Amino acid sequence: MTGSDVLRPHAEHQYASELDALGRLDDRPRPPGWLRSPWAVVQYLLGGRLDDGTVITPKYVGRQRLIEVAVATLATDRALLLLGVPGTAKTWVSEHLAAAISGDSTLLVQGTAGTTEETLRYGWNYAQLLASGPSEEALVAGPVMRGMRRGAIVRVEELTRMPPEVQDALVTVLSEKVLPIAELDTEVAAVAGFNVVATANDRDRGVNEISSALRRRFNTVVLPLPATIDEEIDIVQRRVAELGSALALPEVDSASDEIRRVVTVFRELRGGATLDERVALKTPTGTLSTAEVISVVTSGLTLAAHFGDGVLRPADLAGGIVGAVVSDPTHDALAWREYLETVVRDRADWGEFYEACRALD
């Protein structure tokens, strides 16, 4: 399988040329175990033009200070917790931090209600375990153990979805920087460069509180929703263009007007008022995040490419928007219908969008 066959390459592969360019020009001090300096990591995430003319594409659009604090945290002995509502690019930022610092974003623990301590620490090859008992050969290292041995960044996604007793398996790792292996009466000590980037949100169902003991081991950086409509549109256009390239969808440049329309709808419903603040609105129960905008637009472009003329139109977006907004058939349906009749219907140049949404009732 060639690189072009992969739907979504890991960050360190997709942006290898940018990382290489930063490495060549990076003459600043690097923390032990880091492939690049904190300055280069921030440049990689925020984008810009290097002295040799290389253009670094922005991976995160937002406040520079937040990224600087996140990177500085990982250069200390404290772990990093990226906190925010769903769709604020927590996973995206954690992946690119790991890629830029360690050159490997694949040391990943996905938190779920079914995550066990073995997933965080280590497991066993049970055939060897039964044949010869506990041994180094029978030990199956998990991402945390591998990251400690290699001195690399480990990502823990959706930390608050794990049961509290599983979360607390990280306390010793983060405080003592060792992972005890009781069965072998030994331990794994972390090599310089090891650290943990965890993500969490407190707006979703199935969330478990983080214990105070574990939270003290993290420095928390809250990633906000985009501050302005233009900032959010920029994020959506960049991500849709990247996804569209992999899926052979139409160019996103021709969809700028419709992207602005979708972002406007989501921001107004999310904020409970029209952008000019003249009309108060009922707020749906969903988060209506930037990630959902990206999903709606990508789905619309797919419809336009395969069942239309390749031009993104309101009819291609209506179903996705309604599906994202109306997650509660009672409350959300009422909020959506009120928004259509009091705001959308009377807006200039929104008639086609209004009719397309009304046709779904």
Distance CA 115, CA 106 (A): 17
8-state DSSP, 57: P
- Of 166, 189, 186, the closest CA to residue 176 belongs to 189
Backbone angles phi, psi at 317, to 5 degrees: -100, -25
Residue with token string 């769709």: 87
What pLDDT, on the 0 to 100 scale, is given for residue 1?
A: 44
CA angle 29, 35, 37 (to 5 degrees): 30
pTM exceeds cut of 0.85: yes
Q: CA 295 → CA 10, 91, 113, 259, distances in Å?
A: 20, 16, 25, 11
What pLDDT, on the 0 to 100 scale, is given for residue 4?
A: 60
Low-confidence ranges of the chain (pLDDT < 50): 1-2
What pLDDT, on the 0 to 100 scale, is given for residue 205?
A: 57
- What three-state secondary structure class fits 28? coil
What pLDDT, on the 0 to 100 scale, is given for residue 132?
A: 87
Per-position DSSP letters for 105-164, written without gaps between them: ---EEE--TT--HHHHSEEE-HHHHHHH-S-TTTEEE-HHHHHHHHT-EEEEE-GGGS-H
What pLDDT, on the 0 to 100 scale, is given for residue 346?
A: 92
Query: What is the C-alpha end-to-end distance of the chain, expressed in Å?
Result: 45
Task: Round the CA-based radius of gyration of the chain to a whole number and report it.
Answer: 23
- Please answer whether residues 331 and 324 qualify as being in contact, where contact means their C-beta atoms are separated by less than 8 angstroms: no
Distance CA 215, CA 312 (A): 45
What pLDDT, on the 0 to 100 scale, is given for residue 2?
A: 45
